Homo-oligomer: A and B are copies of this chain.
């Protein structure tokens, strides 16, 4: 039997049931009328967007979901609509996938495996389903599964045992480096194992710290990849099954590693800024690599005309920094302005003179400078309705080499999960066609320029070493003992671990940013502030 299914890789808005519902109906009508599809499949929790978090505890949300399901059923005939939504039954909430056909929900599946690790909290909201669901689409028995279900054998095997000849998997699978390959390898293995083709539909778009990267795909019963939608953009891909076998279609390429990360950052920034209704973005451009990279991402995400930068030199800022910052702003054609922080910095030093009598100069004065910059930037953000983008990288956030309410101020932190060494690789990527980021910015030794002749390497191990230790300690949760045994200097490892542990309080007040690694700060890593663990 011939079966055509449209895979709707959409960018949805969490909580916007009415808007998501309109997108669903438009896509369904397109699938029916333009693609000649028998059915259309959407990502996990289509109606609410993913993850809806504690909105799931609000009765209004569930009421609106019911209304939207009624409306979709009433409005769209002639194509089977397979979509995700929360479903309350006997006082329990399920993460459901339903099939709407000609005015009614003809079948419903409840997700069996609920992820409750990393960024996921599904057991906070949902109960596990226990039954497979197989439904005939144009005569082909199709088994429904949702995201995590496909990562383990049972749900797929149960659907196969219940007669499915093809599996659909509705997903909201967020990006991290290497994840797309991991997904495909796993689903190919699963399809070989059960001997059935699998169509995997992913969400696309940014939601707070997560970016869903799309790349929906289809594998045949022998695990062969037959079709793949593009990454990082919406797509509505028609897949055709002939006699139960997927016809080979277009296979969009994987972006290479650095390009995939860059595109993720751009999409994450764009969606955060636009979905939250900002008029554009402002950021402080220091002449250093982190703000240079952040500017490049912001310009790609929002358009140069929607980005404004401010240079805020102090007595410690080198001419080189000012020159390089202006050069990049002009290359990109973004609005730029210089506001020296000396008047405010001096005012604070005067105001605090009595309070600080008899004390030594220390990091306090460095923080005051960073915070003067924070005030300037937040004032522009407040006055103009532009979001302030924070420019700190993951290495700094890890060890606390950043000032709360100073350079940490802002609404979104694009490269918060980008380790310093990766920031260099991303900067080279930005310059692949022309020199967006001035060469000197990439090549000079990193400095916060908050004290005379200051360099990051005065207080931190070289980033080559630091990033390796951080990756082991944070992303792979190795113990200091394991890291030392892997050949790193014992004192350095212990010092770095101590810095990470002690700076949890700063990270707790940091703006959100895009997760790109296996373990980001934020919902992904939940450490106590008060802790005697060291």
Contact = CB atoms under 8 A, between A and B. Distances in A.
A528 interface: yes
Interface string A438-457: 00000000000000000000
Contacts of A477: 57-59
A389 to B, nearest CB: 14
A521 B117 CA distance: 21
Given A14-B532, A55-B533, A379 B368 contact: yes
A28 interface: no
Contacts of A411: 505
Given A528-B207, A532-B14, A532-B15, A379 B348 contact: yes
A363 interface: yes
A16 B14 CA distance: 40
Contacts of A404: 378, 409
Given A58-B479, A272-B530, A532-B16, A371 B375 contact: yes
A152 to B, nearest CB: 15
A368 to B, nearest CB: 6
Contacts of A272: 529-530
B275 A530 contact: yes
Contacts of A63: 479
A355 to B, nearest CB: 6
B378 A61 contact: no
A371 B378 contact: yes
Interface in A319-351: 337, 339-341, 343-344, 346-348, 350-351
Most buried by B among A51, A510, A526: A526
A54 B382 contact: no
Q: How large is the interface on A (under 10, 10 to 19, 20 to 34, 35 or more residues)?
A: 35 or more
A383 interface: yes
A29 interface: no
A391 to B, nearest CB: 16
A14 B55 CA distance: 30
Contact of A529 (B367, B368, B512, B526): B512
Interface in A510-534: 510-512, 523, 525-534
Contact of A382 (B124, B367, B375, B480): B367
A498 interface: no
A378 B506 CA distance: 13
B350 A379 contact: no
Contacts of A341: 351
A411 B409 CA distance: 15
A269 B271 CA distance: 38
Interface string A196-218: 00000000001110000000000
A260 interface: no
Contacts of A367: 378-379, 382
A246 B480 CA distance: 48
A479 B409 CA distance: 33
Contacts of A315: none
B116 A526 contact: no
A420 to B, nearest CB: 23
A61 to B, nearest CB: 6
A61 B363 contact: no
B530 A54 contact: no
Most buried by B among A19, A354, A379: A379
A53 to B, nearest CB: 5
A60 interface: yes
Nearest to A530: B275
A22 to B, nearest CB: 11
Interface in A1-52: 13-17, 19-20, 49, 51-52
A71 interface: no
Most buried by B among A49, A372, A530: A530
Interface in A242-285: 271-272, 275-276
A459 interface: no
A352 B340 CA distance: 10
Contacts of A372: 375
A153 interface: no
Given A14-B533, A378-B371, A344 B339 contact: no
Interchain residue pairs A-B with the least CB separation, the first 9 = A16-B532, A15-B533, A405-B405, A15-B531, A364-B382, A343-B347, A13-B532, A60-B479, A344-B347
Given A53-B526, A53-B527, 4 more contacts: A352-B380, A405-B405, A411-B505, A508-B511
Interface of A: 13-17, 19-20, 49, 51-55, 57-61, 63, 116-117, 121, 123-124, 206-208, 271-272, 275-276, 310, 337, 339-341, 343-344, 346-348, 350-352, 354-356, 359, 362-364, 367-368, 371-372, 374-376, 378-380, 382-383, 404-405, 409, 411, 477, 479-481, 505, 508-512, 523, 525-534
12 contacts: A14-B528, A15-B534, A49-B532, A52-B528, A121-B124, A208-B529, A271-B530, A337-B355, A344-B347, A346-B347, A362-B383, A367-B378
